[in-house]
Every structure is written in C-alpha cells, then in structure tokens.
Amino acid sequence: MGPNRQVCKREKRPKKPLDPARLEELALAYVARFATSAAKLERYLQRKLRERGWDGEEEPDLSALVNRYVEKGYVDDAVYARATAGDLLRRGYGGRRVKQALGQAGIGEQVAESVAPDEATARHAVLRMAQKRRFGPFAVEKPERDVLEKQLAALIRAGHSFEMARKVLFASDIGEAEDWAAELDEELRRDDV
C-alpha cells in the first residue's frame, strides 16, 4: 500500500446475547463437530455465556441441557474415554497421562479406571514412544548416560512408570526391547487357548 492510503478497519459488531434457541444451536453444533464429555460440553457453554451474555427470561439450566444430550446419546463419557485413551496410547503416552487427560475432561474415576491400559498395552505404548522419539536402542548412535537420563525423564513425564521406561531405554538392542514388549502378548494368547 502506498503512504497516502488509509486502512479502514471495520469495527466488529458485538455478538447478540444468547437466548434458549441460540444456546441449543451452539450445544448441538459443538457435539456434532467434536467428540466430547458432558463436563467439557458444560464448560464450553459456560464460556459462551460469559462471552456473549444471556437474553432469556430465566437463567439457563446448563445441567439439564447437557443431561438431555447424554440421554439422547449425543454425549457419552464412556465412549469419549475409550477413544481418548486409545488415541493417547497409540501415540505412545502412558497410563498416568491417560488418567490425567480424562480427569481434565471431567471423566469420572470409575470410567477412567475401566479404560486404563493393562500391562501389555502399557509396554507397547512405552516402546512406541521410545521408537517415535528415537530413545535408547532406537537412537542412531548409542546415547551417553546424561542423554539417557533425560530420555528417562521424558518417558516418565509422558506417563510411563520408571520401571517400564528404564526397561526400554536400557535394552541392549531393538530386538530385546521389542521382545520385552511382546512377552505378555504371548502369555495372554496361551491363557486364551
């Protein structure tokens, strides 16, 4: 732009306060677009009310609205918990991190416990994280002791137990780490037969 041109900025018009119909539309659009828990939906609606205000005769009953969506099956905490836990475990995060994420989403303790990873799943998750981040035996060259300690701390922050993180990082080679992770798979297969 030249020096003589003025930049015209439009003033943003304030959004209209919410009424029962608009609140319902917001809630429906949110659950249609995002997998969510009941607590997350309620927090979203509370935030929208703070931002835009309320233009209804009575105060909105967010709990009733959320409960109606739960009854209709639009929101299901157990399904959300399974999907979130599965996603985090596939990405290599550990059980503590899964529990933390579910707690932040408002998932109850009982539901969170029901989707907690078993030891075989936890082993594969720590192996996946080490592989993805090129830790321990997956490194291009053998890491020094101080680097291994930092990698150990990173795996623990990712929600893995000290023992599992240590087992993967200090494996002599990739094969040993993969065998350790697959050990329980074979035991479970034998138990199923």
Q: Are residues 54 and 64 in the same domain?
A: yes
Choose the final residue of a domain: 61, 84, 117: 117
Res 183 pLDDT > 80: yes
Together in a domain, 142 and 101: no
Print the domain residue range for 33: 20-75
Give the pLDDT band of residue 185 (cuts 50, 70, 90). confident
- If pLDDT is split at 50, 70 and 90, which confidence band does 64 have? very high
Q: Is the pLDDT of residue 31 over 80?
A: yes
For residues 192 and 169, state if they share a domain. yes
Are residue 108 and residue 136 in the same domain, yes or no?
no
pLDDT for residue 1: 54
For helices 174-192 and 119-133, what crossing angle results, to 10°?
Answer: 160
- Bridge partner list, 18: 54
> What is the rounded radius of gyration, in angstroms, for the C-alpha atoms of the chain?
24
Domain count, the chain: 3
Best CA proximity match to 127, nearest among 86, 88, 182: 182
pLDDT band at 187 (very low <50, low <70, confident <90, very high): low
Asked whether residue 45 is domain-assigned, the answer is: yes
In terms of domains, do 190 and 123 share one?
Answer: yes
- Residues 6 or more apart whose CB falls under 8 angstroms from that of 112 comprise 81, 98, 99, 102, 103
The token pair at 153 is 């701390």
Instruction: For residues 178 and 122, state if they share a domain.
Output: yes
d(CA 162, CA 38): 33
Shared domain for 111 and 140, answered yes or no, is no
Measuring CA to CA, which residue among 131, 164, 170 is closest to residue 149? Answer: 170
Tell me the average pLDDT across 2-30: 82
User: Is this structure's pTM higher than 0.85?
Assistant: no
Write out pLDDT tens, residues 90-131: 999 999 999 999 999 999 999 999 999 999 999 999 999 999
Q: In the prediction, which pLDDT does 190 show?
A: 63
Q: How far apart are CA 78 and CA 81, in angstroms?
A: 5
- Structural domain includes residue 8: no
Residue 123 lies in a domain: yes
Q: Kindly compute the dihedral angle of the four CA atoms of residues 126, 131, 137, 140, in this order, to the nearest 10 degrees.
A: -160
